[in-house]
A and B are shown apart, each in its own frame.
Chain A
Amino acid sequence: MTSRSWSPAPARPDPTRQITLGGCASPTYASVPTPGTATALPLPAPATTVLVIPAYREEGRVGDVVRQVRRLGLDLDVLVVDDGSPDGTADEARVAGATVVRHPFNLGYGSALHTGYCHARRRGYSRLLQMDADGQHDATMLERLVETLDGGADIALGSRYLGGDAPRSSLVRRVGTRLFAKVASLWTGVRITDPTSGFQGLSARAIATVANDGFPEDYPDTDVLVEHARSGMKIVEVPVVMHERLGGMSMHRGARIAWYAYKMLVTLLLLPVRRPTPLRRRDTVARLP
């Protein structure tokens, strides 16, 4: 099977070549990545793009998602971040052909994403795509995200509401989404219809911004978008198709909705005056040894 490459993307480098990994995340919150200086690991050179799939208890689904992506023949590396699942999520992803990073215990969806961002930073990927492991996101939409990034966007945000064919959701969920979409649109100055979307593409600049120890461990959506806009990232929404989840559990259910609302309120209220991380060091995860 011939590997289909996105038009402006450079050809895949020689896999036997030694690569220099990207430099440490710089101490300032938003800055352009600097080329690596010291460490070169004798690992095969990565594709220029990495697809990050955070997964928790997705046995029976994550394998299909990985295979669907690989069947498309895109020039990208697939990374599944297993957030400490007690089931066979990690093995299933590995068998399906993904690189797997496994948290020793459950750290939360945001942390799994953050681990993926730091992986991309450590390996020096120039583009990052992210999608969910439960089959909600349609893999054929990945190309749209890449095209948007190639068009100069730093964040390509896949929106299920732009296309008009959104899957059904509860009333609380719809009202909440509308509210936070309004907040995100007002604050970022860009029309945002789906701030909770986990179907995104990030440029190298954007990866450098989020590979920061202060990245929220759960529900990284409206606050992260606002943070991106504040550090000068260009956000572009892209219409995508989303399906009903194949199974598993939504993060937005029961008492967690109240927790989500509270967390977003406090985070957004304090956002302009808040320190980025509790400790002075901001690159504990992204820093190379």
Chain B
Amino acid sequence: MSASLAMSLLAGTAEELQPLLDRQRFVALAIAIGVLLFVLELVRRRKLREEYSWVWIGTSVALIVLAISNDLLVTLSQWVGAASPVSTLFFGAFVFLLALVLQYSVRLSRLTHRHRTLAQRLALLEQEVSELRAAGRTRAGADRTVENAPRRVSDQGRDVVA
């Protein structure tokens, strides 16, 4: 009985699922190709790092494959239990955006941590540099007085005379 249930689940309701209309297919393809070209252009202009581009390229390629191969989309729809192949596309887009935004939040948190620690380190080093500069100025000032640098030269001179 469970086997027959599994069979019916796997078989799904293929009869009810209509493949994409040609118009739908055309729109999906046009959008996917447009996104693909736009992302490549952004990478070319160095406005998008390769690091972030692969997700978009992967998505548009997946969309192109799904739009071309009807069987794949219908099978996928059966798996997720979608009422129509179009809602499978929407569902996929939703999951994709969710994952992407979550990943960006994670990256943002890491960048926040990094920029915070860098700013703190910079502030401390800046203070230390200014303190060292002030100390250096004091020492340079002391060297220029009669007590230090000129005396040493005259001492040597006196030694030679003696």
Bound form: Cα–Cα A147–B109 in Å: 40
Interface size on A, residues (CB 8 A): 27
Chain B 96-138: CB-based contact to A (< 8 A → 1; otherwise 0): 0000000000000110011011111111111110011001000
Cβ A107 vs Cβ B110 within 8 A: no
A contact set with B: CB distance below 8 Å: 41-44, 81, 99-105, 107, 111, 114-115, 118-119, 122, 213, 217, 277-279, 284-285, 289
Inside 8 A of A105's CB, which chain B residues have their CB?
Answer: 119
Cβ B120 vs Cβ A278 within 8 A: no
B contact set with A: CB distance below 8 Å: 109-110, 113-114, 116-128, 131-132, 135
Cβ A43 vs Cβ B135 within 8 A: yes
Cβ A119 vs Cβ B124 within 8 A: yes
Closest 5 CB pairs of A and B: A284-B117, A285-B120, A101-B127, A115-B120, A278-B113
Bound form: Cα–Cα A102–B127 in Å: 8
Cβ A279 vs Cβ B123 within 8 A: no
Cβ A103 vs Cβ B123 within 8 A: yes
Query: Given that A41-B132, A42-B132, A279-B110 are known contacts, is A122 also in contact with B124, CB under 8 Å in the complex?
Result: yes
Identify which of B122, B124, B126 gathers the most chain A CB atoms within 10 Å of its CB.
Answer: B124
Cβ A114 vs Cβ B120 within 8 A: yes
What is the chain A residue whose CB lies nearest that of B121? Answer: A285
What is the chain B residue whose CB lies nearest that of A106? Answer: B119
Inside 8 A of A103's CB, which chain B residues have their CB?
Answer: 119-120, 123
Shortest CB-to-CB span from B141 to chain A, Å, is 15
Cβ A42 vs Cβ B135 within 8 A: yes
Query: Given that A278-B110, A279-B110, A279-B113 are known contacts, is A41 also in contact with B128, CB under 8 Å in the complex?
Result: yes
What is the chain A residue whose CB lies nearest that of B136? Answer: A42
Bound form: Cα–Cα A42–B129 in Å: 11
Shortest CB-to-CB span from B107 to chain A, Å, is 11
Cβ B124 vs Cβ A101 within 8 A: yes
Cβ B132 vs Cβ A285 within 8 A: no
Shortest CB-to-CB span from A85 to chain B, Å, is 13
Cβ B123 vs Cβ A102 within 8 A: yes
Please list 27 pairs of residues, one from A and one from B, whose beta carbons are closer than 8 Å in the complex, sorted by A's number. Answer: A42-B135, A43-B128, A43-B131, A43-B132, A43-B135, A44-B135, A101-B124, A101-B127, A102-B123, A103-B119, A104-B122, A107-B116, A107-B120, A111-B116, A118-B120, A119-B124, A119-B127, A122-B128, A213-B117, A278-B109, A278-B113, A279-B113, A285-B117, A285-B120, A285-B121, A285-B124, A289-B125
Inside 8 A of A114's CB, which chain B residues have their CB?
Answer: 120
Inside 8 A of A278's CB, which chain B residues have their CB?
Answer: 109-110, 113
Bound form: Cα–Cα A104–B125 in Å: 12
Shortest CB-to-CB span from B59 to chain A, Å, is 28
Inside 8 A of A289's CB, which chain B residues have their CB?
Answer: 125
Bound form: Cα–Cα A101–B117 in Å: 14
Bound form: Cα–Cα A279–B128 in Å: 26
Inside 8 A of B122's CB, which chain A residues have their CB?
Answer: 104
Question: Which listed residue (B123, B128, B135) contacts A104, Cβ 8 A?
Answer: B123
